[in-house]
Structure 1
Amino acid sequence: MRFSIVVPVYKVQAYLHECLESVLTQSFTDFELLAVDDCSPDACGDIVDEFAARDGRVRAVHLPENTGLGPARNAGLERATGEYVLFLDSDDTMLPGSLQAICDRLEATGSPDILVFDYARTYWNGRTARNERAELVAEDSPEVFTLHERPALLMLLSVVWNKAYRRDFVTARGLAFPPGVYEDVAWTYPALVAAERIACLDRVCVHYRQRRRGNILGTRSLSHFDVFDQYDRVFAHLDAQPGAASSKALVFGRMVDHFCTILNKPERVPPSARARFFRSGSRHYRRHQPGDYSPPKGVPGLRHLLIRLRARPLYQALWHARATPPRLRERLLAPSRRLASAVLHLHYRLQRLRPVDPRLAVFGAYWNGGYACSPAAIEAKVRELAPGVRTAWVTGAEHAHTLPGAVERLDPRSLRFWTVMARAKFFVNNVHFPHRMGKRPGTVHVQTHHGTPLKHMGVHLLNHPAAAEGMDFERLLERCDRWDFSLSANRHSTLTWERAYPSGHRALEYGCPRNDVLHAATAEDVHAIRARLGIPEDRTAILYAPTRREYLRDFRPRFDLEGFARALGPGHVLMVRAHYSYADRPGLRELHERGALMDVSAHPSVEELCLAADALVTDYSSIMFDYANLDRPIVVHADDWEVYRAVRGVYFDIRTEGPGVVTSTDEELIEAFTSGEWCGTRATDMRAAFRKRFCAFDDGRAAERVVRHVFLGTPDAVPAVVPLDERSPAPAAGTVRASAPLAGA
């Protein structure tokens, strides 16, 4: 038996049918469903018996008296026989295909102790919203890890039903649910800390029902004091576990956050008991605080401090300020924010009086985003070739999990950030650092850009106000004046950057460092990436990656995605990556969950997606210049070329100077693939001319050239560029054959 699915049942007769059906209709069938009737006073017991009578996979368990959610789960756990145990609350549902996806991921990651998957909240009015911290379940490298290696996992909701647990791991660790209303806490944290092998599945598997009248945790009562007993159990468990000491600070921080969450929701603790709850939180803070605990930055850290100091009046004042309507709050907080900004700026000016640190480098990408693009490739090469240089990355806590352990994270709102900005010698970014930062003599700024330009950039947008979106061109040029070096992947980029950003920078025609991996990756690397993404070995993977339209607020595909995927046939997989600037992707997630395509918009590495894909479909995105390095087929779908050219402006006509077949309608796009034109002789010839023009310097050693020239000061040691016909990019994994139509076409 592969899975045991435990469903505790109590007063959910309106939702129980849907819950149980969502499990029994799964395409994967090797499981048992343990429905535990916790002496429910409604019709739940009869419903459980009905399902057990009609389906042998359902085992009905009736408890003689009501015991609560935790003991009911224990009753199911005691009877479980599957290799893995999953828990599902009886008013929630499991999405189609979830068990198969969980099984596949368990096999791909070598049977980890715990597999964490994602969920979405569903509301009474039909609205669905994916977990706001979905990026935490990204299937990043390493695929299998410990909590200490990825502590951000603790930021997920502390529930049990978003995980699959290896049953012998549960047994060996003696995991069980205590009584109480916060019973998930005393299971989740000990389990994650104890697990030696954790993996993630980046897929919504459970719909978490948000009842209109709330649930037990949203009920005002004294039962919320149970949270203190549960955390006492957690720390007692950690104290008894060898090697768990390093995790105490992580769990402690989440505990205090949890206390704050309860305090900040007036519908939970009765007003007469809030002072007592605050005092209990302060006692638990002092009782369990580890010696190595460091509070978070900003308002969360201030809340922690006030709880530790038992400063309830100040805590209440802070809460009321945060609860004030946004406009009024902005007016009330504006003076304090100006003061804080002035203090940071003064600190920065004072730090600039100290000498520049020649062994300190700062990196950033995509406006304080995560570890990505060319700055990440250069940072990694700095640690390899110039280990004496300390590196720091500018990003908020939401992207902390993307950083390698050896890289310091700089919170852009912290004093430490401005200290480093004042004293570092090297600065590398693919966009820009704060405008208020001035360039000091002796410092070196490297602008990597983030792609070869087809669309107008910089001052060329002066004639395209709709695309410029109120850009301050004078401030832009002031930031450009800080650049010492501008990286270029081809002569077209060199000339364009000089015209679009007229300043005194020097062009380094060294290639685009983010593309180094496209040459360094092996066939084994490509197969491993595809396995992590869930692409079968015998499938041809097509990546669709369009650019942003300034005239569209949300992502809208330029052709019928489902129809195109259907036309590709069963031997193909369509991956879709919306532009990172689009927060909303209407319909795309639904198509993903129905298995019509793969939504890879949240995947942290576009380079990995390129390596996984056997062909690219794009429009005017700079991804085509990067992907051309792989020498794999590219189709340009230019259905709105005239509109895009008028709104944004372009440097050349991609329809006549592009890397392959050009289409403008759904029918033409499908025909290009079903006829074999997409990978035919004409497409191959066009791609060869495109690569000669735009892949001139991308040979896999761009980051090394930058480090040797800029960081080591040895430009004479920079490797020569490998000629185009002597390069060996990463091989495709699929079954692309020149001039071959799709199978079954």
Structure 2
Amino acid sequence: MPRFSVIVPAYQVQAYLHECLESVLSQSYPDLELIAVDDCSPDDCGAVIDAFAARDPRVRAVHLPENAGLGPARNAGMDRATGDYLVFLDGDDTLTPDALLALADRLKETDEPDVLVYDYARTYGSGETVRNRAAAELAERGPAPFRLADRPGLLNLLMVAWNKAYRREFVRATGLTFPPGYYEDTPWTYPVLMTAGSIATLDRVCVHYRQRRTGGILRTTSIRHFEVFDQYDRVFAFLDERPELARWRPVLFRRMLDHLVTVYGRPERLPHDARAAFLRRARAHCRRHRAPGTPVPVRVRVHHTLVRLGLHRTYRALRLAAAAHRATARLARGLLRALRRAALRAHYRLQRLLPLRTDRAVFTAHGHRGHGGDPGALESALRATVPWMRTAWVARPEHHHTVPPGTRRLTPGTAAHWSALARSAYLVTDTDVEPGLVKRRGQVVVRTQSGTPLGHTGPGLPGHPARDTGAAPLRDGADRWDYVVSADRHSTLAWERAHPGRYTTLEYGRPRTDRFRTATGAEVAALRASLGVPEGSVAVLYAPVHRGHRLLDPERVARRLGSRFVVLALARPSHGGPLEAASDRVVDVTGHPDTTALCLASDALVTDCSPLVFDCAALDRPIVLHTDDRQACEAARCLSFDPCAFPPGAVAHSEDELIGLFTDGAWCGTRSAALRARFRARFCPYDDGRAAERVVRRVVLGEDAALPPLGPDGLVPELPEAGGAAARALAAVPGRQPGALVTVTDRP
């Protein structure tokens, strides 16, 4: 008996079916059967299914004699299922990597619930992936399993069958099946949730829901969308047969109204000449099942009232009026923006006619973030070293609180911002110069790097034309740089090769790492407390490059490591959405404005090929490389050297191997320390706590910099006691074995 029976109905999805079935069979959790149902599809879906069945014995091919629809096709799959749990997947969607492993772990943790609800993300043809907006309902905090009455918010999720796993014995005992027709998920999902004796949630994206331009039921204009009424008749008939579920009638009535409004409001679903009839049918339906008592917002109440009363012309007139209002507002906003831009351009030209202020410096960071990074370190050093200089920081209003006292706060795009750009003698940034900036005679532009270039940057990479995107603006900006701050010889060579120019390279170290030498134990403890790291815990910072769904599962890692470990997850999905999993042992620090503070607060770094390895190496924190997708990483970033051949610490080639490194203590053993020392000698030779001061003295005061003396091993002197307060906690880690073996690929 397999653990999972994955049921995939297929009808006219031959272009996507191969990817769908492959996503199931390639799961890291192999205890499954795949029941693929050919719903008498006129294309080659049946042949694709037969080919998979011949290749893999876990695939069971089912061919229906005639087209029955999605619901009956799923029923045919359920009749043949033998697994503990049923998982449904549409033929044009896919399971994410390790999804079934995450399901198996969560089912075991929650004592085999009747239903496990998990999350999904919409995927578009452009490659964009957007997570479900109601993902907060899947939070795993609180007792589990539970009943629907304990978490009624689950009814706000998309009512589909493929975002849940169902215990097969529970489904068989309740006698639930899918009805025919459109919207067949509706009379299945509501009864399942209402009758389930135990429910659990998994706050993780397990399904990628493909958004097709054409071909999907929801994008097909058809009179069959009237079948939504039949489906809700079935839902309320189910309630009528079970008086104990009467409490859910007002909730389901509102959900029905929401659904009817959605169907009517999407012009691609209903034929134009059927829209009035749909509202008349909706009015009769609402009278039949009316169950007042559920509060709704005013705007929603208006939509509900128009549908309940069947006011087709009124509804259409209000929609046209709303569209006209939006169009007028957009036109007015565009006109105001154009006038404002013209006024700012005139103001900037006027300010450039005034003398430069040699005692002024303007600083900015990528995206106009708050005070921090290399520009922040330089700004602090400038105020400390040259007290007569006046500084200003350009940041969005929500980041103004991060700017220290004594530094002027500027909002980007304002007249004050352009005045400062026009008259300040020094401009410091870690990003492209401001579009429209005209560099004046006597102005000095200092460019810091966003990090040591682990990957190739800039134009001119044979075989990697995608890396040329956006290179022209950066190349033009290089002509305006006077100084570029470099951390080491590797960075200097990479930067000058990628962005040649007449600037002077200051190979003085990373200014932002100066904080590592000055941070006190109390400051580190406060940082950890602000992030929610319990005292005595080992904080592991997980910082991968941005690779969409191919992420380590931080929730599973935290569960396997135990309560002593906390994962600080700096994991940004490509769509910019929230982290796929979060609990009291996983802290989502994706929005944290200061990666330097995160390095200080953590006891170790786990990454694949992120430039953050250089910062943690300068801090002398243990580093573990997780390289399960190394080829994709190399292709995406065009690595300038092989981190596995010259690793900063232990290397794990799978998630389980990574967990093993932490459980046996090898992550902080002597072998790991030796690899990190060699890495620091190559990439952190000048990170002695005075890099920012050297830059300031060279640029502003014209003094020649005195680089730090290197130790016998090529390293800068050891970190002072105060800066290493968090790192000293490693000695208390239970089970740490300093001499433990580490799996490392150490090629010359």
- TM-score, normalised relative to structure 1: 0.54
Amino acid at match of 1:319: R
Q: What's 1:414 paired with?
A: none
Question: How many angstroms does 1:13 deviate by?
Answer: 2.6
Deviations 1:171-228 (A, max 9, x none): 1111101111111111111111212222222222222222232412221121011001
Secondary structure at the counterpart of residue 272 of structure 1: helix
The answer to whether the Cα contact below 8 Å between 2:213 and 2:219 also exists between their aligned partners in 1 is no
Classify 1:468/1:43 alpha carbon distance in 2 versus 1 (closer, same or farther; 3 Å).
closer
Deviations 1:464-506 (A, max 9, x none): 426899999xxxxxxxxxxxxxxxxxxxxxxxxxxxxxxxxxx
1:668-683 equivalence runs, <5 A: 670=649, 675-676=672-673
Q: What's 2:263 paired with?
A: 262
Classify 1:4/1:691 alpha carbon distance in 2 versus 1 (closer, same or farther; 3 Å).
closer
1:468-547 equivalence runs, <5 A: 542-544=540-542
CA distance, structure 1, for counterparts of residue 742 and residue 212 of structure 2 = 48
Question: How many angstroms does 1:82 deviate by?
Answer: 0.8
Amino acid at match of 1:274: R
CA distance, structure 2, for counterparts of residue 39 and residue 620 of structure 1 = 55
Q: What's 1:196 paired with?
A: 197
Deviations 1:3-41 (A, max 9, x none): 111121222233322222222222222222222222223
CA distance, structure 1, for counterparts of residue 332 and residue 266 of structure 2 = 22
Classify 1:198/1:324 alpha carbon distance in 2 versus 1 (closer, same or farther; 3 Å).
farther
The answer to whether the Cα contact below 8 Å between 1:231 and 1:255 also exists between their aligned partners in 2 is yes
CA distance, structure 2, for counterparts of residue 12 and residue 744 of structure 1 = 43
Q: What's 1:463 paired with?
A: 408
Q: What's 2:180 paired with?
A: 179
Q: What's 1:234 paired with?
A: 235
Is the aligned partner of 1:577 residue 2:569?
A: yes
Q: What's 1:317 paired with?
A: 317
Deviations 1:359-383 (A, max 9, x none): xxxxxxxxxxxxxxxxxxxxxxxxx
CA distance, structure 1, for counterparts of residue 253 and residue 116 of structure 2 = 23
The answer to whether the Cα contact below 8 Å between 2:541 and 2:599 also exists between their aligned partners in 1 is no
Q: What's 1:586 paired with?
A: 574
Question: How many angstroms does 1:248 deviate by?
Answer: 2.4
> Aligned pairs, how many?
482
Q: What's 2:57 paired with?
A: 56
Amino acid at match of 1:586: S
Amino acid at match of 2:541: L
Q: What's 2:107 paired with?
A: 106
1:217-256 equivalence runs, <5 A: 217-256=218-257
- TM-score, normalised relative to structure 2: 0.54
Question: How many angstroms does 1:732 deviate by?
Answer: 9.1
Is the aligned partner of 1:272 residue 2:273?
A: yes
Secondary structure at the counterpart of residue 230 of structure 2: helix
CA distance, structure 1, for counterparts of residue 314 and residue 276 of structure 2 = 13
Question: How many angstroms does 1:677 deviate by?
Answer: 9.2
Question: How many angstroms does 1:639 deviate by?
Answer: 8.8
The answer to whether the Cα contact below 8 Å between 1:122 and 1:207 also exists between their aligned partners in 2 is yes
Amino acid at match of 1:543: L
Secondary structure at the counterpart of residue 244 of structure 1: helix
Secondary structure at the counterpart of residue 56 of structure 1: coil
The answer to whether the Cα contact below 8 Å between 2:222 and 2:270 also exists between their aligned partners in 1 is yes
Q: What's 1:25 paired with?
A: 26
The answer to whether the Cα contact below 8 Å between 1:4 and 1:80 also exists between their aligned partners in 2 is yes
Secondary structure at the counterpart of residue 81 of structure 1: coil
Question: How many angstroms does 1:118 deviate by?
Answer: 2.0
Amino acid at match of 2:12: K
Secondary structure at the counterpart of residue 82 of structure 1: coil
CA distance, structure 2, for counterparts of residue 621 and residue 471 of structure 1 = 29
The answer to whether the Cα contact below 8 Å between 2:204 and 2:580 also exists between their aligned partners in 1 is no
The answer to whether the Cα contact below 8 Å between 1:4 and 1:31 also exists between their aligned partners in 2 is yes
Deviations 1:373-424 (A, max 9, x none): xxxxxxxxxxxxxxxxxxxxxxxxxxxxxxxxxxxxxxxxxxxxxxxxxxxx
Structure 2, unpaired ranges of 5+: 334-398, 418-525, 553-559, 624-640, 651-666, 678-717
The answer to whether the Cα contact below 8 Å between 1:544 and 1:574 also exists between their aligned partners in 2 is no
Structure 1, unpaired ranges of 5+: 334-453, 473-510, 527-539, 547-554, 563-569, 590-599, 645-653, 693-728
CA distance, structure 2, for counterparts of residue 23 and residue 241 of structure 1 = 37
* Root-mean-square deviation over aligned CA pairs: 5.2
Q: What's 1:157 paired with?
A: 158
Q: What's 2:92 paired with?
A: 91
Classify 1:120/1:469 alpha carbon distance in 2 versus 1 (closer, same or farther; 3 Å).
farther
Deviations 1:135-167 (A, max 9, x none): 333333234232222222222222111111100
The answer to whether the Cα contact below 8 Å between 1:115 and 1:199 also exists between their aligned partners in 2 is yes
CA distance, structure 2, for counterparts of residue 513 and residue 176 of structure 1 = 51
Classify 1:111/1:469 alpha carbon distance in 2 versus 1 (closer, same or farther; 3 Å).
farther
Classify 1:134/1:32 alpha carbon distance in 2 versus 1 (closer, same or farther; 3 Å).
same
Q: What's 1:117 paired with?
A: 118
The answer to whether the Cα contact below 8 Å between 2:191 and 2:238 also exists between their aligned partners in 1 is yes
Classify 1:542/1:277 alpha carbon distance in 2 versus 1 (closer, same or farther; 3 Å).
same
Question: How many angstroms does 1:85 deviate by?
Answer: 0.6
Q: What's 1:44 paired with?
A: 45
Amino acid at match of 2:201: C
CA distance, structure 2, for counterparts of residue 512 and residue 126 of structure 1 = 37
Secondary structure at the counterpart of residue 243 of structure 1: helix
1:529-568 equivalence runs, <5 A: 542-544=540-542
Question: How many angstroms does 1:168 deviate by?
Answer: 0.8
CA distance, structure 1, for counterparts of residue 416 and residue 231 of structure 2 = 52
Question: How many angstroms does 1:266 deviate by?
Answer: 0.9
CA distance, structure 1, for counterparts of residue 209 and residue 30 of structure 2 = 22
1:354-433 equivalence runs, <5 A: none
CA distance, structure 2, for counterparts of residue 655 and residue 6 of structure 1 = 48
Q: What's 1:386 paired with?
A: none
Q: Which moved more, 1:111-120 or 1:303-312?
A: 303-312
Q: What's 1:3 paired with?
A: 4
Classify 1:305/1:544 alpha carbon distance in 2 versus 1 (closer, same or farther; 3 Å).
same
Amino acid at match of 1:609: V
Is the aligned partner of 1:205 residue 2:206?
A: yes
Is the aligned partner of 1:609 residue 2:580?
A: no
Amino acid at match of 2:289: H
CA distance, structure 2, for counterparts of residue 138 and residue 469 of structure 1 = 41
CA distance, structure 2, for counterparts of residue 267 and residue 287 of structure 1 = 27
Classify 1:266/1:588 alpha carbon distance in 2 versus 1 (closer, same or farther; 3 Å).
closer
The structure number with the bigger radius of gyration is 2
The answer to whether the Cα contact below 8 Å between 1:322 and 1:329 also exists between their aligned partners in 2 is no
CA distance, structure 2, for counterparts of residue 683 and residue 661 of structure 1 = 14
Question: How many angstroms does 1:123 deviate by?
Answer: 2.8
Deviations 1:622-656 (A, max 9, x none): 6689x69xxx6799xx999xxx9xxxxxxxxx999
Secondary structure at the counterpart of residue 111 of structure 1: coil
Q: What's 1:686 paired with?
A: 722
The answer to whether the Cα contact below 8 Å between 2:568 and 2:586 also exists between their aligned partners in 1 is no
CA distance, structure 2, for counterparts of residue 620 and residue 53 of structure 1 = 51
The answer to whether the Cα contact below 8 Å between 2:147 and 2:198 also exists between their aligned partners in 1 is yes
CA distance, structure 1, for counterparts of residue 318 and residue 598 of structure 2 = 46
Deviations 1:417-459 (A, max 9, x none): xxxxxxxxxxxxxxxxxxxxxxxxxxxxxxxxxxxxx996478
Secondary structure at the counterpart of residue 213 of structure 1: coil
Classify 1:204/1:517 alpha carbon distance in 2 versus 1 (closer, same or farther; 3 Å).
closer
CA distance, structure 2, for counterparts of residue 160 and residue 196 of structure 1 = 18
CA distance, structure 2, for counterparts of residue 47 and residue 512 of structure 1 = 55
Classify 1:734/1:268 alpha carbon distance in 2 versus 1 (closer, same or farther; 3 Å).
farther
Q: What's 1:294 paired with?
A: 295
CA distance, structure 2, for counterparts of residue 742 and residue 686 of structure 1 = 30
CA distance, structure 2, for counterparts of residue 262 and residue 732 of structure 1 = 60
CA distance, structure 2, for counterparts of residue 732 and residue 265 of structure 1 = 60
CA distance, structure 2, for counterparts of residue 23 and residue 634 of structure 1 = 31
Classify 1:46/1:675 alpha carbon distance in 2 versus 1 (closer, same or farther; 3 Å).
closer
The answer to whether the Cα contact below 8 Å between 2:161 and 2:189 also exists between their aligned partners in 1 is yes
Amino acid at match of 1:237: F
Question: How many angstroms does 1:327 deviate by?
Answer: 4.5
Amino acid at match of 2:293: D
